[in-house]
Amino acid sequence: MGKILIGTCGWDYPEWVGPFYPKRGVSDRLRYYAQQFPIVEVDSTFYRLPPASHALSWSKRTPAGFRFAVKFPQSITHDRRLVESGRELREFLEVLAPLRESGKFAAALLQLPPSLTFDARSVRRFYETLPPGLPVAVEFREKSWLDPESLSLLREFRLAHVVVDEPLLPVRLEVTAPFSYLRFHGHGAPVWYDYTYSPAELTSWVPKVRELAERSEAAYVFFNNHFRGDAASNGTTLTQLLNLPPPAWRSTLMP
């Protein structure tokens, strides 16, 4: 069975003070977070790419075994819609470089827009621009991407199909790469992410997560329901249900 790493989508939320971060405050939220979880997904890169120095800082502030998944910028997925995005891709890879060089990079998340339908020719052209060996997970947001040809392309390029728990698409436990990738979005209305998973819901996911881990070298699991700190709470609960140990580097004195 592959290693299971559970984390959240982002870490710097003011509303997490109290539910997750101590009310007295912490000087470095990322450093504190990394004592609780072994991995985090960086969502801020979707909206605006930071300088590579930020990624270098993230690497320096976290333990050696900690891992980062990083979301592709919307300039590639939503603005360019995977077409003629060579410059944007090069800029993204420059940001990833410090994490890749430090061995802390897990995967890049390519979250597609819900308005983009699957077209095999253009998708193949984009996949061909990705550097060989770069671990990439692709999240579909529209049903045509579940076409067998789309999944076949993922397998051909060794890209991971993102398993999603959300209102619009079905749960498909497809493993198309050496690693698997799972995102919990929630089922809130009108905002998906405004949702608290119950212990019973998370218990029902235990065999599914184990199946993903059995079929891959590593299973990355992220909670995106950040309201009220629910992502951190639900991530902790699922960790316990799976009987996973805390991060090996966790100190007795929190930063």
The residue extents of the domains of the chain are 3-241
Residue 253: pLDDT over 70: no
pTM of the model: 0.96
Question: What does the block give as tokens for 221?
Answer: 């699991």
The pLDDT tens digits for 4-20 are 999 999 999 999 999 99
The pLDDT tens digits for 191-203 are 999 999 999 999 9
pLDDT at position 251: 66
pLDDT average, residue stretch 170-188: 97
pLDDT at position 58: 98
pLDDT at position 44: 95
pLDDT at position 204: 98
DSSP symbols for 72-96: PPHIIIIISTTSS-HHHHHHHHHHH
Domain 3-241 sits in CATH 3.20.20.410: yes
Q: How many CA atoms lie within 13 A of 222 on its CB side?
A: 30
**How far, CA to CA in Å, does 37 sit from each of 1, 147, 226?**
20, 34, 15
Site of tokens 């076409």: 147
Q: CA 19, CA 2: separation in Å to the nearest integer?
A: 31
The pLDDT tens digits for 221-250 are 999 999 999 999 999 999 999 999 999 998
